Structure 1
């Protein structure tokens, strides 16, 4: 038997020990691939527990999620309408860059090369599934979903509309929770958590309620007796200091006039509250299923409303405006090992920030061309310095800039609004014409988009 040279043997041994220790280092520093539960809710404003928009709202499941993650109390949409908001957050591109400003503008024809958030996760080895309303109605994107579950139809009253007109309506329905489309969407999520997944996953679940019409089972209406309903705080002639461009958007002679003349305000508020609490129950079923699954410890949760909603403030109903009620959204993020339970961040963030945040949290390669900012720093320290005012766009050349103190609106015709949120959170007094605030406007205007792309082609669309 030949005995190896002792020097050579020592060299082999040193290499072996080095490789073993290197493997150990790699094992310790390897970045985990977290799963993602992406929860989109339609037309939900800040009338949920953690965001304080309506005293007495019943949202125990969203409240529970807030205690687990970080709630962003100054979160805003990129656009106050379903299609442009969802298009922006899923592509990472502003409406002013894409030209997709409204619900009747199909987005994929003008963004053929866009790599959407779910596409990017698929390209980076994730198992991706979508269910429910993630994109807007008929503009769902086949390229984004290896697997997708369509939005099931929910029951409606036998004779609709009941209180309003067309689908601007609200009423209890003779149905059980399990008959509702959102319940069936959640069933898909529950089934997904029950399965074995060999790869990290990105699961997107989109809820329809509280989108109009507000048809949910009777028990949810019973939780909010009409005599207990509180209307939003409003003042007479709230549009008196708003420029014509803003009044044109508000359309006070439309929905608001109908509501007031037909004495439907309390009933409409009741329908909205009932729909929020119904949605909260379904969100709870989804989160409970995750909590009971083997994926609970390594799944990031992102919960958001796609835009806000007016219920008579500024003599306006629905979204489609640049004021606080239409643009502020509920937004909660839970990131295992990073976010601090029950934290609140008052920094101004935008739904555009979701895309870069998730790619960073999941240790994916940086995606070029994203116009949002990762909020990973704020998940770790909700009070960290943050120099990113939030911008919301509604239509060509119409923008709102929101800092922690101010809301500045500039319309395409150059007219303006300015509100001091420390003194005037309801935005009742427009300060834009007061010369003492000229420097404030100049500073905020620096955040206005430099690019205003012309409108994308439109199609006829019957619903919001």
Structure 2
């Protein structure tokens, strides 16, 4: 009997210790206090980074590390393939087709006077808010959104610019240190912020400019991509042959692409873009390391995104400003402590417009009915959850692309169309729009096209890039 009592007592003790241990581990896994936001915007970064596999051999160790920590969205798209409308839409929650802000030379605030931006909403709900670098399009930064803001510093340029390209469309090493670059100084703002005590939860937005043109970064980043090893994008001849006139006009094959190929600059241009991505990754790494080493590491949500994609010769097109996959697909990674699972992947079609409603729900802020995106909180918890929202990208009045998990459907303002089956044609080489077999597919995808198409907002001379 004594032995049984002793065993019973021992089992109770072990059980209590086990429960205590599990409770402490569970508590350690959960963030303490209110969550914060680190909002990282990157300019002109396409899917060539490591986690998205767009370019073999790309060196993005810091973004790779973030991807292993958070949730990757492999089918994330911008609302517009240009800096100003993309950023204005995701920061206001209003579609370009609703606001009429379609291009970089259209100030967004005059046509959205009453819009409460994402940082404004966090400020109104008691958060300490700071912005640094390029969050809104530089020409139309919204001072009302920032209680504290650090402007975009200038970066050095080569003494005899342009070096390889022309005007702003150029690439070259610069004989400077990382510390001399604007993005390094922007990262410092976040690093300093994490080193301070903050009584209130915070929303910290850090915007990096590279790999936006011109691709001027220190020599050591160019050295990581020797010209002899550069791989050009997969292309086919006459890729524009089955594209409607509206699409060819967007591609401008006789512009940048003709210049690049006539002057045998394709490899050098790709090298400049890769070097700029790896430079940006280094600055992102400095920022993320500072967060990881701070007291805020376990209760800060990280939202990392590129504002749109970028063409490097696909469809004889360079830059963004198009409705194809390369211009509209964006890198998008979210880390939410206690919610996302490290290294997880979602293949659902999401949009940068979804960021605002997601943060509202995740942070339990009052619901904003005017937001036009869809909260992806369900996908943060279950990346494979049922999802019936195709992603819409708009470029100019009446021009839209609808992206489902299988198809990309483009309808231009003049009614001309493109359709691609991504299961069999991920490069979008074969336009199926005129094939009657796909009439029902087009009809179904067309249901997602915006009902409202607002006329163009007023333009100004500045803000082109």
Q: Which TM-score band (shorter chain)?
A: over 0.9
2:86 corresponds in structure 1 to: 85
Q: Which moved more, 1:191-200 or 1:29-38?
A: 29-38
Q: What is the rounded CA distance, in whole Å, between the counterparts of 2:116 and 2:267 in structure 1?
A: 44
Q: Counterparts in 2 of 1:35-434, with a 5 A limit?
A: 35-434=36-435
State whether residues 420 and 432 of structure 2, in contact with CA within 8 Å, keep that contact through their aligned partners in structure 1.
yes
Secondary structure (helix, strand or coil) at the match of 2:348 reads strand
1:12 corresponds in structure 2 to: none
2:451 corresponds in structure 1 to: 450
Measure how far apart 1:42 and its partner are. Answer: 0.2
1:5 corresponds in structure 2 to: none
State whether residues 33 and 363 of structure 1, in contact with CA within 8 Å, keep that contact through their aligned partners in structure 2.
no
Count of matched residue positions in the alignment of Structure 1 and Structure 2: 436
Deviations 1:117-145 (A, max 9, x none): 00000000000000000000120001100
Q: What is the rounded CA distance, in whole Å, between the counterparts of 2:39 and 2:282 in structure 1?
A: 17
Q: What is the rounded CA distance, in whole Å, between the counterparts of 1:286 and 1:312 in structure 2?
A: 32
Q: What is the rounded CA distance, in whole Å, between the counterparts of 1:316 and 1:422 in structure 2?
A: 23
State whether residues 32 and 362 of structure 1, in contact with CA within 8 Å, keep that contact through their aligned partners in structure 2.
no
State whether residues 105 and 463 of structure 2, in contact with CA within 8 Å, keep that contact through their aligned partners in structure 1.
no
Deviations 1:238-273 (A, max 9, x none): 000000000000000000000000000000000000
Q: What is the rounded CA distance, in whole Å, between the counterparts of 1:174 and 1:156 in structure 2?
A: 9
Measure how far apart 1:359 and its partner are. Answer: 1.1
Residues 436, 64 of structure 1: CA spacing in aligned structure 2 closer, same or farther, 3 A cutoff? same
Deviations 1:405-439 (A, max 9, x none): 00000000000000000000000000000001000
Unaligned runs of 5+ in 2: 1-29
State whether residues 72 and 333 of structure 2, in contact with CA within 8 Å, keep that contact through their aligned partners in structure 1.
yes
> How large is the RMSD of aligned CA atoms in angstroms?
1.1
Measure how far apart 1:360 and its partner are. Answer: 1.2
Deviations 1:326-364 (A, max 9, x none): 000000000000001100000000000000111111111
Measure how far apart 1:33 and its partner are. Answer: 2.5
Measure how far apart 1:32 and its partner are. Answer: 4.9
Secondary structure (helix, strand or coil) at the match of 1:55 reads coil
Deviations 1:262-287 (A, max 9, x none): 00000000000000000000000000
Q: What is the rounded CA distance, in whole Å, between the counterparts of 1:392 and 1:266 in structure 2?
A: 29
Deviations 1:62-101 (A, max 9, x none): 0000000000000000000000000000000000000000
Q: What is the rounded CA distance, in whole Å, between the counterparts of 1:299 and 1:191 in structure 2?
A: 16
Unaligned runs of 5+ in 1: 1-28
Deviations 1:428-462 (A, max 9, x none): 00000000100000000000000000000000026
State whether residues 70 and 344 of structure 2, in contact with CA within 8 Å, keep that contact through their aligned partners in structure 1.
yes
Measure how far apart 1:30 and its partner are. Answer: 12
> What TM-score, normalized by structure 2, do the two folds share?
0.93
State whether residues 31 and 298 of structure 2, in contact with CA within 8 Å, keep that contact through their aligned partners in structure 1.
no
> What TM-score, normalized by structure 1, do the two folds share?
0.93
State whether residues 32 and 363 of structure 1, in contact with CA within 8 Å, keep that contact through their aligned partners in structure 2.
no
Q: What is the rounded CA distance, in whole Å, between the counterparts of 1:32 and 1:192 in structure 2?
A: 18
Q: What is the rounded CA distance, in whole Å, between the counterparts of 2:32 and 2:189 in structure 1?
A: 29
Q: What is the rounded CA distance, in whole Å, between the counterparts of 1:319 and 1:30 in structure 2?
A: 39
Q: What is the rounded CA distance, in whole Å, between the counterparts of 2:273 and 2:295 in structure 1?
A: 35
Measure how far apart 1:463 and its partner are. Answer: 4.3
Deviations 1:129-173 (A, max 9, x none): 000000001200011000000000001000000000001000000
State whether residues 105 and 458 of structure 1, in contact with CA within 8 Å, keep that contact through their aligned partners in structure 2.
yes
Q: What is the rounded CA distance, in whole Å, between the counterparts of 2:321 and 2:291 in structure 1?
A: 34
